[in-house]
A and B are shown apart, each in its own frame.
Chain A
Amino acid sequence: QVQLQESGPGLVKPSGTLSLTCAVSGGSISSSNWWSWVRQPPGKGLEWIGEIYHSGSTNYNPSLKSRVTISVDKSKNQFSLKVSSVTAADTAVYYCAINSYYYMEVWGKGTTVTVSS
């Protein structure tokens, strides 16, 4: 069973860059799946941020596209998220997930990121 684990700083300063990594275990990131990032602000719903294929092809939420970069590191079997110019509105629990075509079968446990000075 594939497992995902998010990691990264829990606190980011306003105007800075949020950087998270999702480590994949029990499977290969080169498998035929998309790899997604999803976030959930406190007390709110789920928001898809974007996804990457092992080839490096990406798709992003249009509302975040200008600030988001998702990349893959096959040698480390992981993928990463960067969100630039963060504000308090980017405070959320960030999840990584595996897409089987479009639905997310496996999720990480999530990591909380707070944007504050």
Chain B
Amino acid sequence: IQLTQSPSSLSASVGDRVTITCRASQGISSYLAWYQQKPGKAPKLLIYAASTLQSGVPSRFSGSGSGTDFTLTISSLQPEDFATYYCQQLNSYPRALTFGGGTKVEIK
């Protein structure tokens, strides 16, 4: 199963609403997670099960979708949100994990 993220990059301003899309080549139910990665740092889990916010993650982050189409939304972009975002899915059988190509969110 392949994951295609779009866009690959975007420019936005502080306060903007940002939406990132992740499309799976086959249905994956809700086995989808989102991560944030800043330069030189390990990825950080934001959302799992497509829409469940990881503990400690600000509520401006939200996820939705099921099957093949998923969305990560940042309701009001903050300076600390400029980073690269990855989706990741589980293929149940045979068990394998796959990441999307990433979306870089840059300052406009």
Provide the bound-state CA to CA distance between A38 and B86, in Å.
13
* Chain B interface size, under 10 / 10 to 19 / 20 to 34 / 35 or more: 20 to 34
Q: Known contacts A102-B33, A103-B88, A104-B33; decide if A48 and B42 are in contact (CB<8 Å).
A: no
Q: Inside 8 A of A60's CB, which chain B residues have their CB?
A: 96
Is A103 a contact partner of B96 (Cβ separation < 8 A)?
Answer: no
Contact of A51 with B by CB under 8 A: yes
* Chain A interface size, under 10 / 10 to 19 / 20 to 34 / 35 or more: 20 to 34
B2 to chain A, nearest CB (A): 12
On A, residues with C-beta under 8 Å from B are 36, 38, 45-48, 51, 59-62, 95, 99-105, 107-110
- 18 A–B contacts from the bound complex (CB under 8 Å): A36-B97, A45-B102, A46-B102, A47-B99, A48-B97, A48-B98, A60-B96, A61-B96, A95-B42, A101-B90, A102-B33, A103-B33, A103-B45, A103-B48, A105-B45, A107-B42, A107-B43, A109-B41
